[in-house]
């Protein structure tokens, strides 16, 4: 038995010696795992600073421009309210366009043989032609008031002579339709159209002025 063990040791040593050929790396001790040769690590490239991606440009919005308009506070202008003169206002003095006062309703001028209707201080109708009283029957000047009207009057003094559209203002003297070529017995003769207008425009109490 001892001889067999001795033989085995001899054979083991021979095998170990025969297996050690070029390129093999024997272990220092039987059964030890041979060291693994590793290639030297390549030198690491110098460390580069981390590339931080550039932040996108930040556009700061311009502050909103608030147009501040200074409110101009003007002092309130006080204007007096316009008041139109009343339609019935009478202009002092003469009625415009006539020789009579502004307060009358009818005007007669004997020298020029003209007559007017007056309202609100001015002539609104005329002048229209007239004839007045003949000698001995002259129409007296003065200021009078209408006493009555009669559209189909007939003269009680002159044989029922027709006096259409009569407007009496001085006793028996009246405006009425009559001849513009023949003088009267004191009345104011008017054309038919004028007599109708005077009759419709004048009323009891209307002021009539007769001037020379």
* More confident of the two residues 43 and 16: 43
Catalytic residue status for 187 = yes
106-211 folds as L,D-transpeptidase catalytic domain-like (2.40.440)
Q: What distance in Å separates the CA atoms of residue 116 and residue 129, rounded to the nearest whole number?
A: 9
List the one residue out of 191, 183, 189, 187 whose CA is nearest residue 174.
187
Of 12-26, 32-46, 80-94, 169-183, the one with minimum mean pLDDT is 12-26
Q: Which member of 100, 107, 153, 187 is catalytic?
A: 187
Q: Which member of 100, 107, 176, 189 is catalytic?
A: 176
Catalytic residue status for 107 = no
- Predicted confidence band at 30 (pLDDT cuts at 50, 70, 90)? very low
Of 7-21, 121-135, 168-182, 195-209, the one with minimum mean pLDDT is 7-21
Question: What residues does each domain of the chain span?
Answer: 106-211
Phi, psi dihedrals of residue 162, rounded to the nearest 5°: -65, 140
pLDDT tens track for 105-117: 999 999 999 999 9
- Predicted confidence band at 94 (pLDDT cuts at 50, 70, 90)? very high
Which SS3 state, helix, strand or coil, does residue 169 take?
Answer: strand
Q: What distance in Å separates the CA atoms of residue 131 and residue 184, rounded to the nearest whole number?
A: 7
pLDDT at 82: 55
Q: Which two tokens stand for residue 51?
A: 């590339």
The helix (run of H) or strand (run of E) holding residue 125 is strand 122-129
Q: Within 13 Å of residue 132, how many CA atoms lie on the same side as its CB?
A: 18
pLDDT tens track for 124-172: 999 999 999 999 999 999 999 999 999 999 988 888 899 999 999 999 9
pLDDT tens track for 58-90: 544 444 444 444 444 444 544 545 544 444 344
């Amino acid at each position: 038995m001892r001889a067999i063990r001795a033989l085995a040791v001899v054979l083991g040593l021979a095998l170990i010696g025969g297996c050690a050929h070029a390129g093999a790396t024997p272990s220092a001790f039987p059964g030890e795992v041979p060291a693994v040769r590793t290639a030297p690590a390549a030198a690491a490239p110098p460390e580069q600073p981390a590339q931080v991606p550039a932040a996108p440009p930040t556009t700061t919005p311009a502050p909103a421009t608030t147009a501040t308009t200074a409110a101009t506070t003007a002092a309130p202008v006080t204007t007096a309210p316009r008041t139109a003169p009343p339609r019935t206002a009478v202009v002092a003095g003469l009625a415009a366009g006539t020789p009579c006062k502004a307060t009358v309703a009818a005007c007669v001028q004997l020298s020029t043989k003209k007559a007017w209707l007056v309202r609100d201080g001015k002539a609104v109708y005329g002048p229209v032609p007239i004839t007045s009283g003949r000698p001995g029957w002259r129409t007296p000047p003065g200021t009078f008031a209408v006493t009555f009207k009669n559209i189909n009057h007939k003269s009680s003094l002159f044989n029922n002579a027709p006096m259409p559209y009569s407007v009496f203002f001085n006793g028996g003297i009246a405006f009425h339709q009559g001849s513009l070529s023949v003088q009267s017995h004191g009345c104011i003769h008017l054309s038919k159209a004028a007599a109708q207008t005077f009759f419709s425009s004048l009323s009891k109490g209307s002021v009539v002025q007769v001037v020379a």
